[in-house]
């Protein structure tokens, strides 16, 4: 069974809701889904994944320090073994998200991962519709992985 890994830094209740929505929707497909906190994860999070979704808040114009730390620790261990891995990202931003998207694109380019879609930026005041958007992304990734589209 193919593996979809959600690397999610979820310091707030809203981010936890987004993670749950992504995971639940992806899990409707006939695949194995798992959620890992970046600070608790090592390179195996990517080495064992057939596709990756990252979820992060934007803090000070960048992805969370926890997610950046995971990339820093895992880059060389992954580089030669994870090229082509499909990736999608969800960014929760108070008002912007641009810097985080740029940084994630740099990171994915460095690792030679493959974007399934542009990062989903959920910005501004919290809206319940964000949960639906996150869920749709998770569902699309799960189905695409199940059906061998990605």
Residues that bind ligand FMN (CB under 6 A): 12, 14-15, 57-61, 92-97, 123, 126
CB of 135 to ligand FMN, least distance (A): 16
Both tokens of residue 48? Answer: 């064992």
Taking residue 11's Cβ as centre, other Cβ atoms within 10 Å add up to: 12
Other beta carbons within 10 angstroms of residue 17's beta carbon come to: 16
Whole-number minimum distance, CB 11 to ligand FMN, in Å? Answer: 7
**Residue 129's Cα: distance from chain center in Å?**
19
- The residue (of 68 and 92) whose beta carbon lies closer to ligand FMN is 92
Q: How far apart are CA 7 and CA 73, in angstroms?
A: 14
Cα–Cα distance between 36 and 61 in angstroms, integer? Answer: 23
CB of residue 28 to ligand FMN, shortest distance in Å:
25
Give 84 or 95: the residue with its C-beta nearer to ligand FMN. Answer: 95
Nearer to ligand FMN, 97 or 142 (CB): 97
User: To the nearest whole angstrom, how small is the minimum distance from the Cβ of residue 98 to ligand FMN?
Assistant: 8
**Shortest spacing between CB 121 and ligand FMN, in angstroms:** 9
Q: Which is nearer to ligand FMN, 96 or 146 (CB)?
A: 96
**Residue 144, H or E segment:** helix 129-146
State the DSSP code for 115: E
Q: Which is nearer to ligand FMN, 85 or 100 (CB)?
A: 100
**CA angle 10-139-42, nearest 5°?**
45
């Amino acid at each position: 069974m193919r593996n979809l890994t959600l690397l999610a830094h979820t310091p707030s209740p809203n981010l936890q809701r987004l993670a749950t929505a992504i995971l639940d929707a992806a899990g409707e497909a006939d695949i194995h889904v798992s959620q890992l906190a970046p600070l608790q994860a090592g390179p195996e999070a990517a080495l064992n994944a057939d596709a990756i979704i990252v979820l992060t808040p934007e803090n000070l114009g960048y992805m969370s320090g926890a997610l950046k730390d995971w990339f820093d620790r895992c880059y060389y261990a992954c580089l030669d073994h994870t090229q082509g891995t499909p990736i999608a990202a969800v960014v929760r931003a108070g008002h912007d998200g641009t810097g985080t998207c740029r940084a994630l694109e740099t990171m994915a380019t460095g690792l030679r991962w493959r974007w399934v879609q542009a990062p989903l930026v959920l910005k501004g005041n919290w809206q319940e519709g964000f949960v639906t958007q996150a869920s749709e992304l998770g569902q699309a990734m799960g189905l695409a992985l199940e059906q061998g589209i990605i």
